[in-house]
Amino acid sequence: MALSFGRMTRPVGLGLGLAVALGATLSLGVATQASATAGKSATSVAEQRVKVYELVTKDGGFFYTASETEKQNAITKHGWSTTRTPLYYVSRASFPGGKPLFRLRWEKKASYIVTASIAEREKLVTSGEFRYEGILGYAPGSADAGGEVKVFRLSNNNKWRLAIESHTQKILANEPGWKLDGPLLYQFGQAG
């Protein structure tokens, strides 16, 4: 059953999230980033920050969105539930040092993967097993780009999830079957 939240275009600029671990690492520097519009102030970029939400699908997969509307639709229309996994903020708009986070859906079940790698995104889509849904948001590619919270991706039998560093260690220690795919990018610790 396909998830439908309305008509989306690529890139959607917001509301998307996950990708599968193919290859050795998640490569923090593979994805290219369009430069931010000239004249954008740091304040306007901070004003574009939105919370990232993690939901569990009825198939037991994980879904990520930075759209309050998309989150509410997933809960009310599809019966998915939000988790208590601590996640922070990404930007709706590109910014210097920011990289897009791409969300893809596994075609066999409602399981989603987030990647910052264009090469990984294309490999997954080309495999025919994943559908590209667009851009979740823009995340700092480094601490120097404003990243305060390091985010990792984990996988477990066709399920993928994101976690901040401290929560990653708890998942690996307490939830059998999860393995570390590697670092993804960073998130902002505050809304703005």
Q: Is residue 101 one of the residues assigned to a domain?
A: yes
Q: Is residue 99 one of the residues assigned to a domain?
A: yes
Q: Is residue 120 one of the residues assigned to a domain?
A: yes
Respond yes or no on whether the N-terminal peptide bond of residue 11 is cis (omega within 30° of 0).
yes
| 48: nearest Cα among 110, 162, 140 | 140
Burial 112-143 (b: 16+ CB within 10 A, else e): bbbbbbeebbebbeeeeebebbbbbbbbbbee
What's the chain's average pLDDT? 82
pLDDT in tens, 133-149: 999 999 999 999 999 99
Q: Is residue 25 one of the residues assigned to a domain?
A: no
Q: Which amino acid is at 145?
A: A
Q: Which helix (H) or strand (E) holds 140?
A: strand 130-140
| 153: nearest Cα among 50, 21, 22 | 21
Which residue range(s) make up the domain with 160? 52-188
* pTM (global) more than 0.95: no
Q: Please report the pLDDT score of residue 192 as a whole number.
A: 79
Q: Please report the pLDDT score of residue 82 as a whole number.
A: 97
Q: Is residue 114 one of the residues assigned to a domain?
A: yes
DSSP helix/strand/coil, 168: helix
Q: Please report the pLDDT score of residue 36 as a whole number.
A: 37
Q: Is residue 29 one of the residues assigned to a domain?
A: no
Asked if residues 192 and 90 have their Cβ atoms less than 8 Å apart, the reply is no
Q: Which amino acid is at 72?
A: Q
Q: Is residue 59 one of the residues assigned to a domain?
A: yes
pLDDT in tens, 66-114: 999 999 999 999 999 999 999 999 999 999 999 999 999 999 999 999 9
Q: Which helix (H) or strand (E) holds 164?
A: strand 160-164
The total of structural domains in the chain comes to 1
